[in-house]
Structure formats: structure tokens, C-alpha cells
Structure 1
Amino acid sequence: MPDPGPSPLQSSLPAAAARFGAHVLAEALAHGRGEAETAGAHAAASAALPSPPTLPFGRAPGAEAVPADVPVPDGGPTPAMERILRGPSGLGTAALSLARRAEPAAPQALEAPEPHEPAEPAVGRPIPGLYHHPVPEPDPLRVEEVGRRIKAWALDEVELYPEDWEDQFDGFSVGRYMVACHPDAPSIEHLMIATRLMVAENAVDDCYCEDHGGSPIGLGGRLLLAHTALDHLHTTKEYHPQWEESLHADAPRRAYRSAMDYFVRQSTPSQADRYRHDMARLHMGYLAEAAWAQTDHVPEVWEYLAMRQFNNFRPCPTITDTVGGYELPADLHAQPAMQRVLALAGNATTIVNDLYSYTKELASPGKHLNLPVVIAEREDLSDREAYLKAVEVHNDLMHDFESEAAALAAACPAPSVVRFLRGVAVWVDGNHYWHQTNTYRYSLPDFW
């Protein structure tokens, strides 16, 4: 795929949409650098973007400020990073260098959508004290079209759910979720990449682990067989047909197989392998939680957070480049600093889920582990005190995520890195927006 230019934003989005995600980058790109370098860094982060909204961008009224002291490595990129940016050397390799590309390829233009009524403001209120950034309302035409297509896929292509689950499927509002998280997607089909994978992941969680027949008993075997829909079995001719037939055995496997087939057709081999790796991480997290459920074990808080680093949303923001129609090169994605940014983003967004789903899980049968529950039991706090402490944990993770992402953008201002980091920040914000506004699924505890 070509190097990305500025994100191709649909014309109906509010001006704020083009800037959202830049809050992660702007401060550190300027911090500690010379004037000329600063101007270049800001140009890389916000080229061709409209003027900021009235409020300081990305900051909810009354929200805490992002820490100003963002660490930026002295002396610019490390030798290892310089080697990666130089790319390979030798005959015929000039086109492979990231550093030599002065002008990124122009993004594909989007067709202007038909005029429509402005979207109604989102309902639901954010958790008091939770550090987050407000986002523009997602484009209603895209939301409607993604919702229509994903329901047709779920019903007609993979037979994902029985008729009496339809209300729950509609209440998930996956179209609004994915449009909010990926405003730079150049087409509806790019949005559908993320949407199918999201729905398939939730089908596995619901049907294998949670409320629709899930159980910790035998989970490992079910997950292993489902994972072969993502990471195909390579076996003998005698046994291959039996494996292939197994991919249609239940709704989660049908969904994984179909969603992954679509994804592979629109991603590069390295992007697909990256996703398989992150899904293996997710499945390992499922297994740890299941093991604790079987032994009635409440982990220490740090142990719970370790499990949540694997059982979390990471597979979603890690594909932001595929959904955006470009590629973050594998060497840059594998950098320890990038891996830390992705881990922090996944951890913060997953604690958001713990906090917004708290009352829903308490009302469900059995004992559900979430961060407030674990803190209350392990640190001998009241439910309210534990919940408010979990909010603080989230806020610390968010500040670390923003600081590390900004430092990485300053140290490695390659266009694909800057755009990828902005895309991950956008996903983090969109994820909070969906949780806040999905009043069908979530309600807040009475702790304020």
C-alpha cells in the first residue's frame, strides 16, 4: 500500500472530526524541539486539517489537562529507528525507503454524501471524573449503511443469531460504534472490515464465554478450533475436509471464518498476521479468566490488570491502518515503543468497558470479575470507593497512553507512524463515545 497522506475525511463530518486524535500528538511534537523542527512536526501531524473548534481540541469541559512534560528522546530517532526509516539498501531497493518519500500518495477522494438532517446529539452521560475526549457525532448515513450491511451479513451469510436475539443485535449499535472509531475510512467497505471482525469477536465472547451459553468448562478446546478460522490449519489431504467442514459447525466459527476472509482480501500479509497474533493474545486472556472462574479465584489487582492486557480491545485499534486504507510497516509496528502505546490503548479502553458495564454485570447471574469488583475485594474498599479508584486507574492509563504516543510521534515522525498513532487515539475516543451513549446496554451506578 502507498504511504498515507492526510486522512481522507468525509465532507459531512463536522470540522472537529478532522482534528480529533491530534490531542495525542500536538504537545509533544513541539516540546523540546527547535522552531524549524517544531513547524515541520506540526505540519506532519495536522496537514490539510481545518481550524480547531472553539474549545481546546479534544478536551471536555472540566476534564484534566494532558501532562505538559512529555518525554521526548534527546537527539531525535535512535540508530535502530534511523535504520528502519532508511529502509533496505542496494540495487533495486530505492523505492522501499520510508525516509526518501518526500510526497505521500494522495488519498482516494470520497464521494460527497447526499444532504441529510444533522445527527441528533448522543444520549447518555459520561462517568463523572473519567478522563476522555468528546467526539463529533458519527455520520448518520454511514451509520445507517453499515448497520444495514452488517445485519444482512449476520443473518444471511453466517446465520449468526436466532430471531429472538435481534433486539440485542440492534441494541449493540455496531454501526455507530465503528463509524465513530474510524472516521478516516475511505469507504463503507473499509468500515465493514472492522465491523465484521467486531461482531465475530463478540459472538465468540457471548457464545463461548458469557451470557449466551458460554462456560469456562471446555473453553480452551472451543477457542482453539475457532482460532483455526483465523489462522488456518495446515494438515494432510485426508483430514483437511473435516477441518474445513468444522468451520461451519457453529455461529462463532462461521463468523470468524467469513470476517477473516473479507479482512485478508483487503489487508497485506503482515497486517493479517498482526491481527492473528493479537487475537491469540485475546484468547489467552479469555482462558485466564475462565481458569479463575473454575477455581473461584479472585486475582490480585495487578494480576487482574495483567489478564486484561490480553483479554481486551487491542485487536480493534491495531487494524486502524487497514481500515484507513494504508499500512504501518511491520518493522515500525513491532517497535517496543509502538507496542507499549498499543498495550496502553487496549488497557485503557478495556477499563472503560469495566466501568460502563459494571451495573449490567452485577445484575447478571454468577460472579463477574471487573476492576471495581477486584479492587473492592482485594483492597477491602466499599463498592463506591473501589469504583472511584478504578476511574483513577483508567485516567492514569490514558495519560500514559497519550504521553507515550506523543513521544513516539516526535521521535519517529514518519507519515505512517503519525497517522497510525492518530488513528489509535481516534479509536480510543470513539470507544468511550459508544460506551457512554449506549444506554440500551449500560447504565451508571449511583455513586455521585
Structure 2
Amino acid sequence: MPDPGPSPRQSGLPAAAVHFATHGHGRGIEAFGGGRPDLPPTPAPPPALPLPSAPAPFSAPALPALPALPALPAMSAPAEVAVPTAPAPALRRILGGPSGLGTAGLYPTRREDAPAPSVPAAAGNPIPGLHYHPVPEPDPVRVEEVGRRIKAWAVDEVELFPPDWEDQFDGFSLGRYMVACHPDAPTVDHVMIATRLMAAENALDDCYCEDHGGSPVGLGGRLLLAHTALDPLHTTAEYQPAWAESLHCDAPRRGYRSAMEYFVREASPSQADRYRHDMARLHLGYLAEAAWAQTEYVPQVWEYLAMRQFNNFRPCPTITDTVGGYELPADLHAQPAVQRVIALAGNATTIVNDLYSYTKELSAPGLHLNLPVVIAEREDLSARDAYLKAVEVHNDLMRSFEDAAADLAAALPDPSLLRFLRGVAAWVDGNHHWHQTNTYRYSLPDFW
């Protein structure tokens, strides 16, 4: 197979894809987060999108639907201690990525003679019985540099949080998070693409939805106006200046506007549109959860899982190709089987958040919906048995993700798709690593 080099911006479906199509099988800034000798200096902010002048920043199928999850009995016996799960052979192929003649160009930063990294015991305790794969501790030099840059951006460029939130921003450890999730990013600049977007998304979640000033009341209007920082308003000359000024009026909009400017400088038009679409999905999930909060409705378990397919981490792994410095062509990305893999990855990683943040959310005022809480209410289980069942729901989703990714890789071995699947799998594992090791934010319930 010839070395494809950097993925082209436009590409037609390969013949294998035509065959396959026919026969084919986040949260919370409230507990947020410097260099490497060979790293370039922090880049200057990118040119602003073509907007009218604005004031200075405010200073204050082809595939069936996901099958229903099987009913699980209440668990009365203690769960076994978690053992890191070794990937199945098919999944190892994805995690290892394409190999052989002509594939060196898919790994701009890999040394062929480098030994496989060891995986020492990580900080924190993994959830007993959880299906996960351990990963090496992220590169500390890169982590430090990303941490330095994201804090400079958040404080100096967009004023993302007030001074009294600084310890919470630091505790979020955003540098460790994004370096762990994007091990194939060729440079720190590429990691920063994802890091700014993650910071902005979490700022909006807390300021609009959660307990740093958030409320379900009026959320739809706030989300819509913030979304125009990602998907610009096209209006008349008379009203354009007022809209442009609004993008500087609060921290979420300042964050979205700036992070998106950096992103579109590196992304293709199709990658940018893909991200906007996934952020609209996220905002729709926020609205569903807010509506339930206003009516004090506890959803059925399947309804909650439907909401979590939208209110989840999907915008993060779906940009893994932009962060990796290549592009999965739009016609491949749109394949139903690819969409299923991405959806399952987002669903599994989001239930990881539900499980690790369980005790933190229980200590917050009011009823905070998460999967164990919903299972306990709707299936009349104890808190312990509901939590243990939620672990099994996660494990079912993870295995479905792995099986779907392995089947897709075997059916359609396009180099850019294989690299994309590898990036999504790395994001899933890096996300778990961050949740497990972030003891500033998370502690486990006493259920074992």
C-alpha cells in the first residue's frame, strides 16, 4: 500500500467503502486544571473570523439500531476487584494502528525502534469490575506545556473564569486530560486545538447549566446565542454589529468564539461542520436534561441513555483526526457504521463520567441525574445495586464499541479510517485514565 502521507482534504470513497456500504455489517469547569526545549513558543492568537469590529473582551441503516441492553438482576454479592482488560486481538489491531509497508506516514511522531511503553500502576482506584484498558502516564513535559498554554489562554485571552475559580481550574488538570486522550497529536499546537474547545465547553456547562450560575430556566435562549459563536450568524448589515458584540459578553461565548477561531485555522471545512453538528447534538442533550429538571421528571433508563447519547463527550473524540493533523474524509465519516462506532465511544465514555462523579454529584444540592440514580429510582434498586448495574451497562457499551470498531476495521481497511478508529479508541482509554487518576475531583462510593 503506498504511503498516503497527510490525508487529503477531499477524497472519494474507495472501492472497499462502496462494498461495505452495500453489504456492511463532558463536565464541569468547577474543578478544572508549562516547557519542552524543542517546543515552539506559544502562537499568537489566530486572525479573527471576518466579523465587524467588536469591543475589547468584557472585563468583568446499513446497521440496526443499538440493541436494548439486557435486564440485569440486582447484585447482592460484592463485585470483583477491577482488573485491567487486555484488548481482544481484533481491538489490538485498531489500538496498534496500520502497520506494514507504506504506513510510516500515518505516524509522524512514532519511532520505529522505540520500545512499547510500560503501563505502571496509575494514581487513584479504578472502579471494581469496570471494563477498561490501562494507558501509560501522559508525557509530563507535554502535559506541563499544554497546562501552561491553556491557562494563559483562559486567563489572558478570554477571561474564562474569575480569580476565585483558579484552584478549581488547576485541579481539573486539563493538560493531563488532553495529552492522555490525544497521544498521536504531532505537536503541542495540535493538542491545544482540543484543549481550548474542551475548556470552553466545560465553561458553558457550568455557567449555563450547572451550579456556577447555571439554571434550566431560559437555557435554550442562552445555548442558541452561544452556538452562534461556533456557527456564525448571517444577517443584515444593520444587525451584524450587535451580534458580533454579543460574542464578547460572557465567558462561554468568549471561550467558544476564540476556541473555534483556532480550530477552523487547522480544520477543513467538513471537519469544522462536523464539529458544529456534534455541538448542536450536545446542546440538544443539555436542553432535554434541563426540561426534566424543570418538571422534576426522572426519566426511564432508556430515556436517560437516549439523552446521554446527545449530552455526552462525542464532540471530543470526533475531532481526533484534526488533532492528529490529518482528515477522515467526509464520505467515510458519514458511513452509518462509522457513526455507530463514534456514538458508542461517546456513550461509554460518558457513563464513565457518571460512575466516577457519582459521589461528587450526590454531595451537590438537589437531585442530579446520573445513570445509577436513574436505575435506582426506575428499577427500585438500592443505591449499591443500581451503581453495580450501571457498571455492567458501561461494560456492555464498551464491548459493543470494541466489536463495532473491530468489524469496521476488518471490513474497510482504509488507512485514514484505521488511524481514526485508533484515535477514537485512544480517546476512550485516555478519558478513563483521567477520571481514574483525578483524585482532586473524584472518589469512589463504598460499595465493595
- TM (norm. structure 1) is 0.77
Q: 2: distance between equivalents of 1:416 and 1:326?
A: 8
SS in 1 for 2:124: coil
Q: 2: distance between equivalents of 1:257 and 1:283?
A: 16
Q: 1:376: which partner in 2?
A: 376
Whether contact under 8 Å (1:110, 1:186) holds in the other structure is no
SS in 2 for 1:145: helix
SS in 2 for 1:134: coil
2:206 counterpart letter in structure 1: D
Q: 2: distance between equivalents of 1:121 and 1:173?
A: 19
Q: 1: distance between equivalents of 2:242 and 2:121?
A: 50
Residue 319 of structure 1 pairs with residue 340 of structure 2: no
2:239 counterpart letter in structure 1: Y
* The one of 83, 88, 91 aligned to 1:62: 83
**How far did residue 329 of structure 1 move?**
0.2
1:305 counterpart letter in structure 2: L
Q: 1: distance between equivalents of 2:84 and 2:119?
A: 25
Residue 234 of structure 1 pairs with residue 234 of structure 2: yes
CA RMSD of aligned residues (A): 2.3
SS in 1 for 2:444: coil
Residue 152 of structure 1 pairs with residue 152 of structure 2: yes
SS in 2 for 1:423: helix
Q: 1: distance between equivalents of 2:106 and 2:90?
A: 34
Residue 387 of structure 1 pairs with residue 423 of structure 2: no
Q: 2: distance between equivalents of 1:279 and 1:228?
A: 11
Q: 1: distance between equivalents of 2:153 and 2:90?
A: 47
Q: Render the CA deviation track for 1:46-87: whole Å, top value 9, x for unaligned.
A: xxxxxxxxxxxxxx98345667899xxxxxxxxxxxxxxxxx
Q: 2: distance between equivalents of 1:420 and 1:391?
A: 27
Q: 1:46: which partner in 2?
A: none
2:405 counterpart letter in structure 1: A
Q: Render the CA deviation track for 1:197-255: whole Å, top value 9, x for unaligned.
A: 00000000000000200000000000000000000000000000000000000000000
Whether contact under 8 Å (1:285, 1:311) holds in the other structure is yes
Residue 182 of structure 1 pairs with residue 203 of structure 2: no
Q: Render the CA deviation track for 1:78-132: whole Å, top value 9, x for unaligned.
A: xxxxxxxxxxxxxxxxxxxxxxx97775754589xxxxxx999631010000000
Taking a change above 3 Å as real, the CA distance of residues 106 and 205 of structure 1, as seen in their structure-2 partners, is closer
Identity across the alignment (%): 78
Residue 364 of structure 1 pairs with residue 385 of structure 2: no
Q: 2: distance between equivalents of 1:303 and 1:232?
A: 32
Whether contact under 8 Å (2:119, 2:134) holds in the other structure is no
1:62 counterpart letter in structure 2: V
Q: 1:210: which partner in 2?
A: 210
Q: Render the CA deviation track for 1:253-297: whole Å, top value 9, x for unaligned.
A: 000000000000001000000000000000000000000000000
Q: 2: distance between equivalents of 1:190 and 1:247?
A: 25
Whether contact under 8 Å (2:82, 2:130) holds in the other structure is no
Q: 2:272: which partner in 1?
A: 272
For these two proteins, the number of residue pairs brought into alignment is: 358
Whether contact under 8 Å (1:119, 1:140) holds in the other structure is no
Whether contact under 8 Å (2:347, 2:397) holds in the other structure is yes
Structure 1 window deviating more from structure 2 (119-128 vs 214-223): it is: 119-128
Whether contact under 8 Å (2:281, 2:310) holds in the other structure is yes
Structure 1: gaps (5+ residues) = 7-59, 71-100, 112-117
Q: 2: distance between equivalents of 1:432 and 1:106?
A: 25
Q: 2:288: which partner in 1?
A: 288
Q: Render the CA deviation track for 1:409-432: whole Å, top value 9, x for unaligned.
A: 011101000000000000000000
Q: 1: distance between equivalents of 2:106 and 2:373?
A: 49
SS in 1 for 2:326: coil
Whether contact under 8 Å (2:82, 2:126) holds in the other structure is no
The equivalences for 1:251-270 within 5 A come to 251-270=251-270
Q: 1: distance between equivalents of 2:103 and 2:382?
A: 57
Taking a change above 3 Å as real, the CA distance of residues 103 and 213 of structure 1, as seen in their structure-2 partners, is closer
Taking a change above 3 Å as real, the CA distance of residues 4 and 411 of structure 1, as seen in their structure-2 partners, is farther
Q: 1:425: which partner in 2?
A: 425
Q: 1:330: which partner in 2?
A: 330
- TM (norm. structure 2) is 0.77
Q: 2: distance between equivalents of 1:61 and 1:373?
A: 22
Whether contact under 8 Å (1:220, 1:287) holds in the other structure is yes
